Amino acid sequence: MMILGVGHMWITDWTARAVCRETDPDTLFVQGAAQNRAKLICRGCPVRTECLADALDNRIEFGVWGGMTERERRALLRRRPEVTSWRDLLEHARRQYQRVGSDSDEFVSG
């Protein structure tokens, strides 16, 4: 586990914390409208970002991962071919988001 900030971590052993761990895997490997239902499983998952980064970095072709279908992931990979590490990109984005959030908290309370 890598600490990013107070109370926020990038979880390297994310599979143990994934909400879908308790779900029938076949639920996530579906086609058509069923994919939208599968994406709902990811909605409240605490490791959704880690899962998505792993799927993008490893070019996982099938199933819903991190709340995205294979088609959505392929489109994202085509739009951003310069990204060599989705984990690094998303980890950095999370840090920036948390920094901005903590700055605005200080502004509101100060």
Mean local confidence (pLDDT), 96-102:
82
**18 marked as part of a ligand binding site:** no
- pLDDT cut 90: percent of the chain above it: 75
pLDDT at res. 99: 86
Is 87 marked as binding a ligand? Answer: no
Burial class (CB in 10 A: 0-12, 13-18, 19+), 91: middle
Instruction: Tell me whether residue 45 is annotated as binding.
Output: yes
pLDDT bin (cut points 50, 70, 90) of residue 5 is very low
Residue 84 belongs to what domain range? 2-109
Average pLDDT over residues 20-31: 96
Over 60: is that where the pLDDT of 76 sits?
Answer: yes
Give the C-alpha separation, 110 to 101, whole Å.
14
The answer to whether the annotation marks 52 as part of a ligand binding site is no
pLDDT at 101 exceeding the cut of 90: no
Domain count, the chain: 1
51-55, 64-68, 80-84, 101-105: the lowest-pLDDT one: 101-105
